[in-house]
Amino acid sequence: MFDVIIIGSGLGGLLCGSILAKEGLRVCIIEKNKQLGGNLQTFSRNKQLFDTGVHYIGGLGKGQNLYQVFKYAGIMEQLRLKKMEEAFDHILLEHDPKEYVQSQGYDAFIKNLTTDFPEEKEAIIRYCYLLKDTCDRFPLYRLTMDNAASKDTVLSLSAKAVIETVTSNKKLQAVLAGNNLLYSGVAGKTPFHVHALIVNSYIESSWKCVDGGSQIAKLLGAEIKKRNGTIIRNCTVKRIIEAAGKITHIETEDGRHFAANYFISNMSPAATLSSTQSADLKAIYRKRILDLENTISSFSLHIVLKPHTVPYKNHNCYYHKEGHLWNMNDYTADNWPLGYGLYYTTDRKDKTYAAAVSILTPMWFKDVEPWQDTYNRAGKEGDRGTSYEAFKNQKTEQLLALVKERFPEIVDNCAHVYAATPLTNRDYIGMTDGSMYGIQKDFTDPLKTVISPRTKIPNLFLTGQNLNLHGILGTSLSAVLTCTLLLNDNTLVDKIRNA
């Protein structure tokens, strides 16, 4: 019998596992995939490693929030990271040949943007003040359990509106929100605090994982095993069984039963609810969760470049078509894609060149509905057919045509191009619509889209990107909250801060 069973080995599940194992609990993680990590998974094509869901990470500078969490979890020392160049993101706008930058360190952030917008210096300073002030209102983000009441006043602020109050300069607005693909920015939905918590973490410090983000999953998995934890792969949880107000065990697709005192689900809240019929999870709670809208899914290209053709850039690029900054998801078949994010991978033998590039753009699941009854992932392979291949080829051409306008050297030097669609996301992660970041946060009804790690069943907890904030940092902080509540120990965060 285990103390805790964790369903899913995404970052949230693994971090809960390593923290709870460190606290002396007997942990068991059950993962449906062959590879641990969920969005941390990497894959290899033509000897080139690609990340699926981690291009860069913020907050990993010494003493910063994610650094402390990873240090406490026992993996910080072994992580192989490379700091990005001062300007971590370059923002490219249609009809403007310039590249604008967002930089690490608030002084550099202000200085570099002021060079491009000298008349906007006061606005840029005010914007930075608002970012920091907003982050200060979220105690867990600052690794304390202080009163969180002061955050209530900012939850209903819109990201777009706040940026527009800071400056009326349309170009500067576009630059400040230029990396909003990071949280799938939507004009009428995205809260300013989501923008602030994420952008601030990259301004504090921006890092790339050397040889992929899957190292985080491997290191956390090793920590769990070192502390007598159990990890079971290739095992899909089918049902979560409740009796007399407590979860007693889970049942897997292959018919096995696993019992424990506590259960944490790293699946989405909707998938968790669908797995348990317990009447203790009231119809109104179920309806609220099941009705929540998810963020959009994505279409990605993973490109292996011809050797020594494209110089490596230690920054990311975000491109927006004019007039579509906050509505990149409202594309039509003709004008798709309305923007993209572009991420370089260095050549291991000659670091001045890029060996690969990944390009990401939003795509709704409905675009791949004709093939929704197919299934294909490592360990459970299937064929989606020739019409699906034709769809991928057509979308690849459309995206590459747009990329070529600003990056001809990349498009002219592709050796191999691999495409992933919302179906790929669905089959590897388990969100039925392939959503990139889980639940879409909404400033018009903020509390509706914040999910507590607690459920009405006292020994069933939730964790993962769907709770408070997505991303490597957001998911890690949610894991800390889940463990704090499960252990009923508010000092956990102090131990992490002082690690």
Candidate residues 12, 17, 191, 229; the one interacting with ligand FAD per rule CB under 6 A: 12
Stretch that binds ligand FAD, among 1-9, 123-131, 286-294, 487-495 (CB under 6 A): 1-9
Site for ligand FAD in 354-413 (CB under 6 A): 360
User: By C-alpha distance, which of 338, 340, 332 is closest to 301?
Assistant: 340
Q: Please report how close the Cβ of residue 285 comes to ligand FAD at its closest, in angstroms.
A: 20
- Measured from the Cβ of residue 86, the count of other Cβ atoms closer than 10 Å reads 17
Q: Which residue is nearest to ligand FAD, using beta carbons? A: 10
38 sits near ligand FAD (criterion: CB under 6 A): yes
Per the CB < 8 A criterion, the answer to whether 11 and 479 are in contact is yes
| Region near ligand FAD per CB under 6 A, out of 75-83, 152-160, 169-177, 466-474 | 466-474
Q: Could you say which of 167, 470, 482, 483 contacts ligand FAD (CB under 6 A)?
A: 470
Binding segment toward ligand FAD, per CB under 6 A, in 53-61, 102-110, 327-335, 440-448: 53-61
Residues 6+ apart with CB under 8 A from 314: 82, 84, 85, 208, 344, 346
- 157 SS3 class: coil
Rounded least distance, CB 19 to ligand FAD, Å: 13
Q: Tell me whether residue 200 or residue 413 sits nearer to ligand FAD (CB atom).
A: 200
Supply the minimum distance, in Å, between the C-beta of residue 87 and ligand FAD. Answer: 16
Tell me which long-range contacts 270-275 makes (C-beta under 8 A, separation of at least 24): 270/432, 271/430, 271/431, 271/432, 272/7, 272/240, 272/460, 272/462, 275/237, 275/238, 275/239, 275/240
Residue 460 in the binding site for ligand FAD (CB under 6 A): no
Binding to ligand FAD (CB under 6 A) within 173-212 occurs at none
Our finding on whether 215 is near ligand FAD (CB under 6 A) is: no
The Cβ-side half-sphere exposure at 310, using a 13 Å CA radius, reads 25
Q: Per rule CB under 6 A, is residue 39 in the interface with ligand FAD?
A: yes
Rounded to whole angstroms, the Cα distance separating 308 from 408 reads 15
Choose which of 4, 6, 21, 31 interacts with ligand FAD (CB under 6 A): 31
273 binds ligand FAD (CB under 6 A): no
What is the rounded CA–CA span in Å between residue 51 and residue 80? 14
Give me the residues paired with residue 418 across strands: 302
Q: Which two tokens stand for residue 10?
A: 């995404």
Answer whether 455's CB lies under 8 Å from 461's CB.
yes
Catalog residues that contact ligand FAD under the rule CB under 6 A: 7-13, 30-33, 38-40, 53-57, 236-237, 266-267, 271, 298, 360, 429-430, 436-437, 464-465, 470-472, 475
